[in-house]
Structures are given as structure tokens and as C-alpha cells.
Amino acid sequence: MDKYTLSIYVNNKPGVLVRLAQTFARRGYNVDSLVVSPGIDPRFSRMTVVCQGDPEALDQILRQLNKLVDVVHAAHHSSSTSIERELAMFKVSVDVTRRSEVFQIVEVFRAKTVDITDQSVVIEATGNSEKIDAMESLLKTVGMIEMVRSGKLIMARGMEAT
């Protein structure tokens, strides 16, 4: 199954998310992440959906999404035509002996320490999904307690509308 990143510009109305989710479910697509944010105009919202599914069904899903009344525009974006970022926060259990190791990981990944106590550190990181995945793997080895990820955000490069 391939992964796809879709940008969907919709009317900001109740029930839109349910109708979109049904479109994905009917075609056997699994939604990996979903980010909804307001557009420049408050009447509209931007949805970024990362999904997995059969490549042959992608065009059909896009056509069906674009036919929905509340969808203004739906499009697939590849990493070559868009800028992709994700936000993650990691809570790591640390004692005095391992704290410098955690700070080195933070520095290498250009992340930030946003909270520190005697027993834990909370780290904020932004970047592409691969960077966040790599940081997650390293932090698991030093004692990750919990993690929260935003899901992927995208914006088309240049003057093209997302």
C-alpha cells in the first residue's frame, strides 16, 4: 500500500469530516493522519490527509472528493511539489547521568527542550516525517514516556495554491 498526502479545501460546516471519512472508507483507504485548520477566509478550512491505499483508487477518490458539495478543491501533493512539516512533542524520562545524552539528541535534530524537571524532559521537534521518526527511534532507547505528533502539514511550493 502506498502513502499519499492530500490537501482538501472545504466549507467550514458541521458534517464535512464525516462525509470525507466515508469516501476514504468506501475505497478501502486507511487515514494515517488528519490535520484540520482554518483557512485565510474563516468560511473555509484546510484538511491535510495522509492515507494509505491502492494507487489505482487514488484518482477515483479525488474525483469523488471534488464532487462533494462542501469540497472546494481536493488535490494530491508529492514531496517534490510541496513543503511538508510535522510537529512532535516527546516526554523522556531522564536522570542526571543520561540528561546530557538526551540534550545531544535534541541538538543534533535541531529540536527544543520546552520543559525540564528532575525526572523528565519534554522536547519539541519539527521537520519532515522521516526526521520525526528517526528522533522517535533514538528517544525510545533512552526512555521515552509518551509522544504526541501533529500529523503532516503541507503547502505547495511557489505560487501554486495548495
Each residue's pLDDT expressed in tens, for the chain with a length of 162 residues: 788 899 999 999 999 999 998 888 888 888 999 999 998 899 999 999 998 888 888 888 899 999 999 999 999 988 788 899 999 999 999 988 889 999 999 999 999 999 999 999 999 999 999 999 999 999 999 999 999 999 899 898 888 877
Helix (H) or strand (E) run with residue 108 in it: helix 99-108
Confidence (pLDDT) at 134:
96
Confidence (pLDDT) at 28:
81
Any idea what the Cα angle at residue 133 is, between residues 36 and 24, rounded to 5°? Answer: 40
Structural domains of the chain sorted by starting position, each given as residue range(s) with its CATH number in brackets:
2-77 (3.30.70.260), 85-150 (3.30.70.1150)
Helix axes 99-108, 129-142, angle to 10 degrees: 170
| Set of cell numbers at residue 115 | 520543559
Q: How far, in Å, CA of 115 to CA of 121, rounded? A: 6
Confidence (pLDDT) at 149:
94
CA distances to 70, 76, 100 from 84, rounded to whole Å, are 25, 13, 30
Confidence (pLDDT) at 98:
87
Q: pTM for the whole thing?
A: 0.81
